[in-house]
Structure 1
């Protein structure tokens, strides 16, 4: 899609291991969409360019091929190498590769998935289900969940729960345009009662079509939820109580107070 869906600052929704500091760690200059070098650095670069001899045809050809071989900058594979606003977007990979390193975060490990606590929960229950399949974990959710065999496995893992009516009260799904690179499925209760729900985008990302239930996959061609423009509009929608349907316009503080009362009633059902 030519249009990129705008995101809420979803990066704060996840637990982030520190990025490894190894020689392969990309530098600031690797990302053309970031702030450029200082003026002194730019001058040094300009000076270097004027003194370097021109490339011969072979060097130019090989340079072009090298650039062509890189993943597109907006691809999830490219995103996994980026650090944006201090957040390494490939951070979720550590939980699937080395779950034993995070005993306080990891709740369950199977051959197919790792279930972790969300460090910034948007409801009383908010977990992340991380598929371990190397063929799928860097695919966009729409592409990964079009594989019906994979969808059955992930759906089965997401449906496992104890306590109250898990299927009725817990929602399992994905964001239509995730900001983290690795595939992750939200397992979240309906209440949206959390101090971590701090602005309209947080709320709308789970209560509008921006949140796509796993049971709706695979999405069919023409489904409006595939359109970036539709999803941008979903994030900007006026606020509506998930339980009673009362509208709050853009009055987020009023919605938050209302949700506390709804939560008390919901718990007694």
Structure 2
């Protein structure tokens, strides 16, 4: 004889919570008991807060690959290279044109204050800076010459509005090389020695913090022309990046109001390129 299941019996499926939905004839007691016996779903533990990103010391060696394998990069990244130096476009520019000069010699792992005490090395760096400064100046002229009053005669020849001189030489126009600054940070952010060669405008989407601006607008930035530094030069001990921000062009003091400074820099950029 077949075994009969009691009307109030709980099947294994019901205990496990896998039984089909009860019909309308199922008793309320049975449904309540099923709910009571069903395994309780544990509340999901709270999501852990993301750990603060630790500064990876290896990031300070980020220039190493440019020094070791410059030939593997496109011309949009590596501008030129030789046996002693590599010139690249900065990955996070703090001006509209921002390049880096990297030595490939034994000086590459030295702090610039020490490396530039070597007269022969400093002379070689200055020669390369002059070369890179001219490249940056030419890029500025290409980009902003059409906006510059000083370049109007040159632009008219280029546009065919005026006949060129008999010798075919273009009007000199604005000296864009003078719109380029070159130097190092008193406390470099990278392990490998690098010289910043950049336009003076400090106009870039990558300029996002007060320290970004002040690292190129205070004595924290040491011009290459000032080397070798005297042993008692205060810049050897760094500089406070939390000081007030002052416009590089007009000197207006913006205190710690970076957003206001950024707005101002955009206006100054337009005026600067019109000169």
Q: Report the TM-score range of the alignment, normalised by the length of the smaller protein.
A: 0.5 to 0.7
**Structure 1 counterpart of 2:266:** 260
**Structure 2 counterpart of 1:105:** 77
Instruction: From the superposition, tell whether residues 178 and 86 of structure 1 become closer, same or farther in structure 2 (CA, over 3 Å).
Output: closer
Q: TM-score, normalised by structure 1?
A: 0.65
| Pair 1:158-2:129 in alignment | yes
SS at match of 2:61: coil
Return the match for 2:205 from 174, 195, 201: 195
Q: TM-score, normalised by structure 2?
A: 0.63
Distance across 2 between alignment mates of 1:256 and 1:214: 27
Equivalent pairs, count: 182
**Structure 2 counterpart of 1:171:** 181
Instruction: From the superposition, tell whether residues 88 and 186 of structure 1 become closer, same or farther in structure 2 (CA, over 3 Å).
Output: same
Given that 2:186 and 2:237 are in contact with CA atoms closer than 8 Å, whether structure 1 keeps it comes out as no
**Structure 2 counterpart of 1:248:** 254
Shift of 1:168: 1.3
**Structure 1 counterpart of 2:66:** 95
Given that 1:137 and 1:183 are in contact with CA atoms closer than 8 Å, whether structure 2 keeps it comes out as yes
Gaps of 5+ in 1: 1-82
* Correspondences of 1:3-14 after superposition (within 5 Å): none
Given that 1:193 and 1:260 are in contact with CA atoms closer than 8 Å, whether structure 2 keeps it comes out as yes
Shift of 1:201: 0.2
**Structure 2 counterpart of 1:183:** 193
* Correspondences of 1:11-160 after superposition (within 5 Å): 84-85=55-56, 87-103=58-74, 104-134=76-106, 136-160=107-131
Aligned alpha-carbon RMSD (Å): 1.5
Distance across 2 between alignment mates of 1:236 and 1:91: 26
Larger radius of gyration: 2
Gaps of 5+ in 2: 1-53, 142-174
Deviation sequence 1:153-174 (CA, Å, 0-9, x none): 1111111114243441111110
Runs of 4+ in 1 over 2 A off after TM superposition: 83-88, 162-167
**Structure 1 counterpart of 2:223:** 213
Distance across 1 between alignment mates of 2:235 and 2:251: 21
Deviation sequence 1:92-133 (CA, Å, 0-9, x none): 121111111112411111232100111111001101110111
Given that 1:174 and 1:214 are in contact with CA atoms closer than 8 Å, whether structure 2 keeps it comes out as yes
